[in-house]
Amino acid sequence: MTNAQMARAFNEWMRRFIEEPDQFAREFEEVNRYLTDQGDGREPTYGETCTAYLHELSKQLPAS
């Protein structure tokens, strides 16, 4: 993914977050999971989850 594609995907994420905040309630659960993993000495998987989601968003956006 290029920097331009990544920027577009982040902008799309923000647009969706603003328009449908209820769809992102799960993010608060992810915060707790991240903190638990970190506290237990495990590498949090949040970054992997976000990366996969951004790639999916990128595929859904029209080519520029």
| Predicted TM-score (pTM) of this structure | 0.64
**Block means of pLDDT (10 residues each) for the chain, length 64 residues?**
86 91 82 89 85 85 77
Contacting residues for 1 by C-beta, under 8 A, at least 6 apart:
9, 54, 55, 58
Q: What is the pLDDT of residue 44?
A: 84
| pLDDT, position 31 | 82
